[in-house]
Amino acid sequence: MFDGTVIDALSLYRDIIDKKNVENDRIVNFVSTSINKIKSDTNTWLDNVLNYKVSMHVGNTSLINSFILSIALGIKINLSYENLIKLGISSFLHDSGMERLPDVLSIKNDSTLGEATKKQIVNHPIISFKIIKNELRLATDVAGAVLSHHEQWDGSGYPHHLSGNNINIYSRIISITDSFDSMISYRSYKSKIIGYKAIKQLLENSSTQFDPSLISEFIHMLGVFPIGSYVAMKDNRIGKVIDINSENLLRPKVLVSNINGLDEIIDLSIDKDNYILKAITGEE
């Protein structure tokens, strides 16, 4: 199911970038189908964000991951279906302007992210805005959301230095999900970090870069040890986080494989003798 969504996403995205007369219905149908899938099995989709590794979409993880996380967060905060569609389209296309930058290929491979590259990159929200407004003629608030996705809560973002609730709510969501994805993904100019550390960094930047109430919702959705991440426990076993415990985010449900090959679910909110020692990478 996930593979199919990724393939549909990439072909739709490519057609939009290549100006292939994409009907709005195709975009809405794709987003609406994705919302239904994510709603029906949210934790599996969140797990995919941290663990889905297919070489064909390296370089497009932000497209997929930020899209899934944004919709999941929209569901968590009870956005209406109509607003979920708008949020989904905004998150799907927020970086489309990057693909139209004059030196897009060299920018993607620029390991230093020098000044000239940065100057080009700051234009991408405006180009994304134009794609949505002038080419796709989608709703004004969708175009506005894309335009503002690099604004920051304290007004230090770009392009218009908006702050607080003056920033479109979809943009505030995308800002969080895009940053989280960027931290957990490899880029040519940086290595990746594990989900637990990414959550920590989001918290450190709550109220400066990000909307604090949305950060709180995001962490109550994904957990301190995010769903899909690997943890070492006090009883020396290693497991994968499969669900949060909203009463105690440090005590999620963890799936472990025992020596006999049978999977076991440990609910750390019940098994009080056991606890998580540390978050680890999936390779450890």
Which residues here bind Fe ion, judged by CB under 5 A? 95
C-beta of 279: minimal distance to Fe ion in Å? Answer: 27
Nearer to Fe ion, 2 or 189 (CB): 189
The residue behind tokens 């990057």 is: 98
Instruction: Name the residue type at position 94.
Output: H
Residue number with CB closer to Fe ion (218 or 225) = 218
- The whole-angstrom separation of Cα 256 and Cα 6 is 28
The least CB distance from residue 149 to Fe ion, in Å, is 6
Nearer to Fe ion, 95 or 151 (CB): 95
**End-to-end Cα distance, the chain:** 28
Between 172 and 253, whose beta carbon lies closer to Fe ion?
172
Residue number, 95 or 110, with CB nearest to Fe ion: 95
Degrees (nearest 5) of the Cα angle 262, 268, 272?
115
- Centre a 10 Å sphere on the Cβ of residue 81 and count the other Cβ atoms it contains: 12
Least gap, CB of 145 to Fe ion (angstroms): 12
CB of 118: closest distance to Fe ion in angstroms? 12
Degrees, nearest 5: CA angle 253-254-255: 130
Bridge partners (DSSP) of residue 206 are 210
Tokens 């994968």 found at:
240
In the complex, the smallest distance separating the C-beta of residue 125 from Fe ion, rounded to whole angstroms, is 6
Position with the least CB separation from Fe ion: 95
| Min CB(45)–Fe ion separation in Å | 22
Tell me, letter by letter, the H, E, C secondary structure of 124-173. HHHHHHHHHHHHCCCCHHHHHHHHCCCCCCCCCCCCCCCCHHHCCHHHHH
Residue among 117 and 274 whose Cβ is closer to Fe ion = 117
Give the Cα separation of 175 and 81 in Å (integer).
Answer: 21
